[in-house]
Amino acid sequence: MKNIYNKLMQIAVCVFLVATASSCDNDIQDIGGAQQNYNTAYGLILANTNLTTFAKAIQLAGLESSLNTPDDFTYFVPNNTALDAYLVANGYVNDLGYPDINLVPVDDLKQLVLSHVVKGVKKRVAKLEGIEADYLTTGDYATMANAVNPDLYLLSINVTNNVLKVNGSDKAAPGLDYYGTNGFVNVLDNVIVLTPPAPAISSLSQVLASAGDVITITGQNFVKVKTVKFGSTEATFTAVSNTEIKATVPADFDSYALIVVETEFGVSAPSGIGLKYLLYEDSLKGTGGGWGGAVTWQSTEKVSRGTYSIKKVIGSWEGITMKSEKLLNVADYQFVKMSIFPTESTKIFININSSDLYNSDKGTTVTLVPGQWNNISIPISNLHPELIPGGKFDEILIQEFSNITITPASTIYLDDIGFL
């Protein structure tokens, strides 16, 4: 009887241990405050009837073996409505006018799918108090598409107050991301496009240039640059990065050109370099005069650019005039530009009104910083173009105008004078 009792006890203990082990094996793990589905992240996509178009895209692109693995994944999957809208917008419709994922070229499908997948991490959105988990945070993430094509943009993610924004898609996070054994599936209302937009020029390293100069073009989206043009002339260039290009000013550059950058993804808006009419560049295109101290029209003492500048020894109210070799139309220009180096602090008066050159009511004044080149840009509108008869002019006046005593032999140097 005792032996039978012992046998029953052993059986009961074994049953208890087996039941306990089974319970542990089937226990649903808590991740980020929600029960984990015992399915892979890939399996969740296949099981979701709202994601069937994306699942079909995976199959058509031949990516099942790459995504149906035990590796960790975070998916950002456009729902069927978003993908259908994308297909229609890009012309992938069948004879009946319905969106058809089968019409998308395989290479494009691969990039589309991989642009929505981050491999190696499994991250959810909403941070829950007291729960330890991997969370998505605001920043740029490399997708599987970036691994194939490093020129593509990174995935831009913003998480604020538990709301996820992925390249412009907004969704409330809690309850809308699905968790599998190896990752999360975030459902989006748009299709992610990582293709770089058209390039944009923000600045040039120099305002004026000469043929052969190497200038730096700064901007954005300099990806797969095809050409850099000065007007209609292609320049030799090196794309240093996505935001910087080094370009050599072409040999046929005169004094002004519109620069455009062309990539495989578009063409930038033009950015002007130089002056439309350069009155002085190492030499005067016309005649000049002045009163007071001496004028040296080709001085090598201080030069902003090139070989020569104008040296003017200047005292109180003394000045210089320059007359163009051709008549200029004020409507063709927006700015008067020049570089001036004064040896001491002073103010100058500038006028282009040829019929009334010495009338201080028809020009403007500029205060100069001593001991350095002052790059001046004066709007033509500040020079009262409405008072110029016929809108035509051919002369510019620069006069000392500080109303203080200037040191004898005070000097100003002038360079790169012209109109833009």
pLDDT tens-place string over residues 403-412: 776 777 799 9
Output the pLDDT for position 183. 87
More confident residue, 84 or 362: 84
Mean pLDDT, the chain, whole residue set: 85
Output the pLDDT for position 353. 80
CA separation for the pair 189, 169 (Å, rounded): 6
pLDDT > 60? residue 16: no
pLDDT tens digits along 127-138: 666 656 688 888
Q: What is the pTM of this model?
A: 0.62
Contacts with 89 (C-beta within 8 Å, 6 or more apart), sequence order: none
More confident residue, 76 or 35: 76
List the one residue out of 321, 319, 317 whose CA is nearest residue 280.
321
CA dihedral 239, 240, 245, 250 (to 10 degrees): -70
pLDDT > 70? residue 200: yes
How sure is the predictor about 33, in pLDDT bands with cuts at 50, 70 and 90? very low
Residue pair 288/321 in contact (Cβ under 8 Å)? The answer is: yes
Q: CA triplet 66, 71, 75: central angle to 5 degrees?
A: 75
pLDDT > 90? residue 112: yes
At residue 257, the 3 state secondary structure works out as strand
At residue 166, the 3 state secondary structure works out as strand
Residue pair 64/113 in contact (Cβ under 8 Å)? The answer is: no
Residue pair 39/180 in contact (Cβ under 8 Å)? The answer is: yes
More confident residue, 10 or 384: 384
How sure is the predictor about 19, in pLDDT bands with cuts at 50, 70 and 90? very low
pLDDT > 60? residue 228: yes
Output the pLDDT for position 407. 74
Output the pLDDT for position 105. 96
Range 97-118 average pLDDT:
95
Output the pLDDT for position 127. 67
CA separation for the pair 312, 375 (Å, rounded): 17
Range 206-235 average pLDDT:
93
Output the pLDDT for position 356. 81
- CA distance from start to end of the chain: 114
pLDDT tens digits along 302-345: 999 889 999 999 988 999 999 999 999 999 999 999 999 999 98
Output the pLDDT for position 99. 95
Range 396-404 average pLDDT:
89
pLDDT > 50? residue 174: no
Output the pLDDT for position 195. 85
How sure is the predictor about 37, in pLDDT bands with cuts at 50, 70 and 90? low
Within 10 Å of residue 175's Cβ, how many Cβ atoms?
8
Range 105-113 average pLDDT:
95
pLDDT tens digits along 284-301: 999 999 999 999 999 999
Q: Which residue has the tokens 């039978």?
A: 4
* Residue 240, CA distances (Å) to 153, 203, 207, 218, 393 in order: 17, 15, 20, 10, 43
Maximum C-alpha span of the chain: 135
Structure-block tokens of residue 266: 């578009």
Taking phi over 0 as left and psi of -120 to 50 as alpha, with beta for the rest, 419 belongs to beta
Residue pair 321/397 in contact (Cβ under 8 Å)? The answer is: yes
Output the pLDDT for position 129. 65
Range 392-415 average pLDDT:
88
pLDDT > 70? residue 21: no
pLDDT > 80? residue 259: yes
